[in-house]
A and B are shown apart, each in its own frame.
Chain A
Amino acid sequence: MYLDLALAGVAGFLCVALAGIALARSRTATPIVYGASLLLSLIVLAAALAALLARAPAASLVLPLGLPWIGAHFRLDALAAFFLVVVSLGGATASLYALGYGQHEEAPQRVLPFYPLFLAGMTLVVLADDAFSFLLCWEVMSLASWALVMAHHRDADNRRAGYLYLVMASFGTLALLLAFGLLAGPEGAYGFAQMRAAAHGAGLAALVLSLALLGAGSKAGLVPLHVWLPLAHPAAPSHVSGLMSGVMTKVAVYAFVRIVFDLLNAPSWWASMIVLALAAATALLGVLYALMQHDLKRLLAYHTVENIGIIFIGLGLALGFRAAGMNGAAALALIAALFHVFNHSLFKSLLFFGSGAVLTATGERDMEKLGGLIHKMPLASVAFLIGCVAISALPPLNGFASEWLTFQAILLSPALPQWGLKILIPGVGAVLALSAALAAACFVKAFGVTFLGRARSDAAAQAGEADRWSLAAMFILAALCLLAGILPGFVIDALTPLSQALVNGRMPPQAPIAWLAIVPINESRSSYDGLLVFLFISLSALLTASAIHRLASRRLRRGPAWDCGFPVPTPITQYSATSFAQPIRRVFGTVFFAARERVTMPPPGDMGAASLAVTLRDLIWDEIYAPIAHGVSRAGDRLNALQFLTIRRYLSIVFVLLVLLLLVLALWL
């Protein structure tokens, strides 16, 4: 029933896409397409939520589409229902936001047809129940998002981003294709049900896991496969950026969870070491890259990389616990990861919407030209601030709740039997703590430079508030961030069927606990109560404010800024994004980015300006990708000669190749 409704929603998306093509040039197209997408997303959301909360048994459906002898299988189980909630909630808020934001789009005909297609692709990936339809929908999702990235293709940077995205997406799909091929085996059992039932050997499992890590990781942005992400996500229109960062990366996480936890029955413990090491590197490098950025949207995209790292840390822990037979701990780690999936989809969409509002109001993405927007965009800045607090993992918002659960899972790991994990996991914990602290620094920078202080350009000085639709979408997301933060127990309970199905373990039920606290293992070990913390903070702040205003002075006078007696009127003297990051760059940058600072001082007596040049190198690009690109282009140069041969030579090449193939065949048989 729920599945039918969800598939009907997808059919609706496809119709809207067609309508988008037909209406593209008319002015009414924007509200029609986004309004219809909003409605359809809400329908799918309702179906998914009902399926998840009612703990409906898995429903499946075979449609006579696709390959004739297979058909297209769809299935809605708890895992699919949860990710469907994430996808459709993201779709709904993005559509709502776009009702306002889309009005400013300069080339709507390049966005409108692909946007519903993108939503349809993501929804279907989550629902697919055989390898063929999974990969097909995966490609639809990739190509639709690629088209959206290329919407503003006149910008050379965007073209480069689109090209890189296409290459990496093809690579990822190839890896997934091979993974499914291995899972299906020589008989070609492409249905997920058959894969689940089959027994896989250790070698095969290792290979499939690595391929899934490559395929899903390249889409999600695991280091070192992340290079396309910070270029492509910001290049798209902001609501699509929000969807790509907040939702599409989660679909990639879904692919990984589906393959590794559901289809593959028993990966061994060292698999979790690989996942954990990659995830820790991803979390740390993502946030360090973000700190070095001063393009607001790119900074957010790098933070997606960081959060994917945090999610994969949870997944890696779950793998390790499951291999050791500690099902309760595995459930805790898995739920922490999935909770973070949900949380990240909320606050990352919110932050991208906020950056879109800034972009609309000022035309700037460069933080060095912004500033003081809190006066011009008071409401948008409140929503953005809530997103910043949430993503920095600060209580009482939701980012903290899921990271807290991850920490609790880490604290269970000394019971693991393997030495490798025992040594690795404390390090992973340190990296997680480090990246959480650095994220807070990064968002002080992002919010402080963009919204606080004084305007650094005319565009920022003349900005105006965002429109009502955008604000509505942002505040819905902000409210959800707060709700998930103060009532985490309900989310955990909703996720219990997933952990039951995937790792055969569960956390204690959270709803009956007094004061709506969460207790991962038992009361004396650890507990956290977001609701009480929130209430305490609000109450004591209100109490203090009213006491001070009643009993002490309430007079207020405005004057020029003091600044230790040296106020300088020009806003250039403010701390900029680059200067804010300078101490952290000096601490971490020399190792991770080969950062160099060069100061040129004029000689004494010369009145010329001194200059400070900072150089950073992206070591991953320089050391991994650049050699590959170089090798490919050199090979291309060599093969170029093949373009200018005579017909006779071409024929002889074909002939020789044919003979060679026949020879191989003869030897083989």
Chain B
Amino acid sequence: MALIGALILQLLQMLLVLALAPGLIGLVRKVKARLLRRRGPAIVQPYRDLARLLRKEAVIAENASWLFRAAPYMIFAAIWVAAALIPTFATGLLFSWSGDMIAIIALLGSARFFLALAGMDVGTSFGGIGSSREMMIASLAEPATLMIVFSLALIAGSTSLSTIAEFMTSPEVGLRVSLGLALIALVIVALAENARIPVDNPATHLELTMVHEAMVLEYSGRHLALIELAAALKLLLYVSLIACLFLPVGLARAEDGAAALGWGLVAYVLKLGFGGALLGFFEVSIAKMRVFRVPQFLGAALMLGLLATLLRFVSASF
């Protein structure tokens, strides 16, 4: 019986992230539009877009291979599984131990691997440019994330997200320089990984500097819908990750009662809204970088992560 309850909770989490992800995108767009004194599309617009894309027929290039058609499903599945492993409203869900933070990052890496391959499949120049730049960005963002994981793992004594999140709610955490460094680095990585503004522009389709959009240029119909949904899930994943690590307020435990879980849910939705608003505000207040400035930006994240880890290694009291 307990097992069934835990299973239901885990399924609820999987459906919850799926349901909220397009809403987060809609919220960010809305905030950005309002800050630019436009009215902007409704928050539910991404849902409508997805529904329309799903209804349309898919047009693919003549020389597209099976990989091109299979990739959206693999990308979506990998990101969905990764998002399901993150504590969103409760820690210690039934399968939360089946992958720790390193595994979550690597799952995102798998998704990226297939996305980059899909970008190269049709053999167009835009696809290639996107894939090659995406891998360049990832080659710095991934080690930076791992360094952040290292520093957190050394503070909490675990790489398992549930344990870290529970540790962060305990009073013994205190203010630590490594934590601050890790937060800054994680925000930089999240911006780069989600193709947000200083690194890439999510709103453009015809620009030589685009990265993510260039890779998915040949997709249409249901395939495009899946990739867009996967991208939204990834954004939600990073926001939830930052929230559960650095703002673990209201996080319930899986074995708590319904009330605590309900509060956890409310707190989670509030946190998402806050994160989305912050992101929108940040995006309108900063300009996009040149592509070859991005390595420096990410290099800074890598250095911060390394510094945070180093501080943890050198002294137990930091």
Contact = CB atoms under 8 A, between A and B. Distances in A.
Direct contact of A and B (CB under 8 A): yes
Interface of A: 371-372, 374-375, 378, 385, 389, 392-395, 400, 404, 407-408, 410-411, 413-414, 419, 422-423, 425-427, 429-430, 433-434, 436-438, 440-441, 443-445, 447-449, 452-454, 515, 517, 523-529, 532-533, 536-538, 540-541, 544-545, 548, 551-564, 567-568, 571, 573-575, 579-584, 586-587
Q: Would you list the 4 A-B pairs with minimal beta carbon distance, nearest first?
A: A575-B128, A453-B123, A448-B120, A555-B57
A562 B217 contact: yes
Contacts of B57: 553, 555-557
Contacts of B132: 445, 575, 579-583
B238 interface: no
B61 A453 contact: no
B310 A426 contact: yes
Given A559-B59, A567-B124, A575-B128, A544 B73 contact: yes
B99 interface: yes
A392 B109 CA distance: 9
A440 B135 contact: yes
Contact of A541 (B73, B100, B128): B73
Interface string B92-126: 00010111101100110110110011001111111
Of B81, B225, B226, B302, the most chain A CB neighbours within 10 A belong to B81
A575 B127 contact: yes
A548 to B, nearest CB: 5
B80 A540 contact: yes
B163 A441 contact: no
Given A426-B306, A517-B97, A559 B61 contact: yes
A394 B106 contact: yes
B124 A561 contact: yes
A539 B10 CA distance: 15
Given A523-B97, A544-B77, A561 B133 contact: no
25 contacts: A374-B121, A392-B109, A394-B109, A407-B159, A411-B150, A411-B153, A411-B154, A413-B313, A414-B313, A433-B147, A448-B121, A452-B120, A517-B98, A528-B99, A552-B222, A553-B222, A555-B57, A557-B58, A558-B61, A558-B62, A561-B218, A563-B126, A568-B125, A583-B132, A584-B136
A371 B120 CA distance: 10
B6 to A, nearest CB: 13
Nearest to A514: B97
B291 A583 contact: yes
Contacts of B120: 444, 448-449, 452-453, 575
Interface in B272-318: 291-292, 295, 302, 305-306, 309-310, 312-314, 316
A561 B316 contact: no
Of A448, A541, A545, A557, the most chain B CB neighbours within 10 A belong to A448
Contacts of B78: 537
Interface stretch (B35-43, B137-145, B168-176, B245-253): B137-145
A438 B131 CA distance: 13
Given A437-B143, A526-B100, A452 B117 contact: yes
Of B57, B64, B67, B123, the most chain A CB neighbours within 10 A belong to B123
Contacts of B98: 515, 517, 527-529, 532-533, 536
Contacts of B316: 414
Contacts of A571: 123
B313 A529 contact: no
Interface string B240-260: 000000000000000000000
Chain B contact-residue range equals 35 or more
A422 B117 contact: no
B5 interface: no
B110 A452 contact: no
Nearest to B78: A537
Nearest to B151: A426
Contact of B60 (A440, A556, A586): A556
A561 B140 contact: no
Given A553-B56, A553-B57, A575 B125 contact: yes
Contacts of A540: 76-77, 80-81
B34 to A, nearest CB: 31
Nearest to B316: A414
Given A407-B102, A564-B217, A524 B313 contact: no
A441 B135 contact: yes
B109 A556 contact: no
A400 B106 contact: yes
B143 A529 contact: no
Given A392-B113, A525-B160, A561-B61, A537 B77 contact: yes
A437 B159 contact: no
A452 B125 contact: no
B257 to A, nearest CB: 23
Contacts of B99: 395, 528-529, 532-533
B272 to A, nearest CB: 22
A408 B302 contact: no
Contact of B110 (A378, A394, A526, A581): A394
B160 A526 contact: yes
B55 A552 contact: yes
A237 to B, nearest CB: 29
Contacts of B116: 444, 448
B20 interface: no
Contacts of B225: 552
Of A440, A561, A562, the most chain B CB neighbours within 10 A belong to A561
Contact of B65 (A452, A526, A554, A583): A452
Contacts of A544: 73, 76-77, 226
A392 B107 CA distance: 12
Contacts of A453: 120-123, 128
A525 B163 contact: yes
A464 to B, nearest CB: 16
Interface in B203-248: 205-206, 217-218, 221-222, 225-226
A559 B147 contact: no
Contacts of B106: 393-395, 400, 404
A447 B131 CA distance: 12
B45 interface: no
Given A426-B147, A440-B142, A448-B128, 11 more contacts: A400-B103, A411-B150, A433-B143, A433-B147, A453-B123, A528-B102, A552-B225, A557-B60, A563-B218, A580-B132, A587-B139
A170 B163 CA distance: 53
A528 B109 contact: no
Contacts of B221: 553, 555
Of B110, B116, B305, the most chain A CB neighbours within 10 A belong to B110
Contacts of B121: 374, 448, 452-453
B222 A548 contact: yes
Given A395-B106, A430-B306, A448-B120, A553 B58 contact: yes
